């Protein structure tokens, strides 16, 4: 990627290893490197970063990387800039982890970028939807940026373990132009780049009392074998979040690439 600059004040990267629930996570990687991996994940859409902006290939205005606002975690979730969306490194691997407070890697998203990647309206997104076979179900997902091919590859690999099928179907859905529950921001389902698995095994932070302001008690009932296959093909898992959504997977290959580069590792 050309013309990548880290934001002012970033300084030299510091590699800090935090250990929680037996998981070692590399928590720092220079912003310039993260932006390069972001562009590499969507080469047909992102040309690179220059002068504090992300340059896209669609001819539209460049997007600011950092809006200059100091935000709380809640404010990042509500209106995150591109830097915010890359600020927490996703931990890879089959780890039975308990995410610490406000550790939500990937849950912070930049809606303006998602709209440029996939379409700014339901009708625009719908034009690129294709049907894939998901264990006998026909699910509609976007064909942009390899999402449909990646999800079909996930299905093909998981099919080799019949014992997992009961967790996978019926799917709770893919494309659905809607906001996130309790928020004003669009779900990644709006862009046809997410899938929810069988709700019979799902756990969700709002169901655990988080919507009422109580501390959430993490729970997961999906086999981590499923998680590993999704991650292999560019999807992140909502079960990695403090505000967990264990049935949810979304296509975020940039976060998988950043995790690998930073050294985010499996259980030790």
pLDDT, position 1? 40
Q: Cβ contacts of residue 179 below 8 Å, gap of 6+?
A: 185, 186, 187
pLDDT, position 27? 54
* pLDDT tens over the chain, length 268 residues: 434 333 333 333 333 334 444 444 445 789 999 999 999 999 999 999 999 999 999 999 999 999 999 999 999 999 999 999 999 999 988 777 788 989 999 999 999 999 999 999 999 999 999 999 999 999 999 999 999 999 999 999 999 999 999 999 999 999 999 988 877 899 999 999 999 999 999 999 887 776 655 677 899 999 999 999 999 999 999 999 999 999 999 999 999 999 999 886 544 3
| Dist CA 234 CA 65 (whole Å) | 22
Q: What is the dihedral of CA 19, 25, 28, 31, to 10 degrees?
A: -150
Measured CA to CA in angstroms, residue 39 lies from 4, 178, 183, 186 at distances of: 10, 26, 28, 22
Residue 148 token pair: 């449909």
206 burial (CB, 10 Å; 0-12 / 13-18 / 19+) is middle
- The sheet carrying 235-237 orders its strands as 194-196, 248-251, 235-237
The pTM of the full predicted model, rounded to 2 decimals, is 0.88
| Dist CA 250 CA 233 (whole Å) | 11
């Amino acid at each position: 990627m050309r013309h990548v600059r880290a934001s002012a004040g970033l300084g030299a990267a510091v590699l800090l290893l935090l250990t929680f629930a037996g998981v070692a996570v590399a928590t720092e990687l220079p912003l310039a490197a993260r932006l390069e991996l972001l562009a590499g994940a969507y080469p047909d859409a992102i040309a690179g970063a220059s002068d504090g902006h992300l340059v896209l290939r669609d001819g539209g205005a460049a997007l600011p990387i950092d809006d200059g606002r100091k935000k709380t975690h809640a404010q990042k979730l509500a209106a995150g800039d591109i830097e915010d969306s890359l600020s927490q490194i996703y931990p890879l691997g089959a780890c039975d982890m308990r995410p610490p407070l406000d550790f939500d890697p990937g849950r912070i998203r930049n809606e303006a970028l998602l709209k440029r990647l996939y379409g700014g309206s339901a009708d625009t997104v719908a034009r690129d939807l294709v049907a894939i076979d998901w264990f006998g179900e026909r699910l509609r997902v976007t064909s942009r940026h390899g999402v449909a091919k990646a999800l079909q590859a996930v299905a093909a690999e998981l099919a080799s373990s019949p014992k997992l099928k009961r967790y996978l179907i019926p799917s709770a859905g893919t494309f659905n132009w809607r906001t996130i529950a309790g928020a004003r921001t669009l779900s990644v389902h709006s862009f046809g780049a997410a899938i929810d698995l069988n709700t019979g095994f799902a756990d969700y932070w709002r169901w655990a009392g988080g919507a009422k302001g109580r501390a959430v008690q993490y729970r997961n009932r999906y086999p981590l074998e499923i998680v590993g296959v999704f991650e292999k093909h560019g999807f992140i898992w909502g079960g990695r979040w403090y505000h967990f959504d264990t049935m949810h997977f979304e296509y975020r290959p940039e976060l998988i690439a950043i995790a690998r580069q930073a050294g985010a590792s499996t259980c030790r």
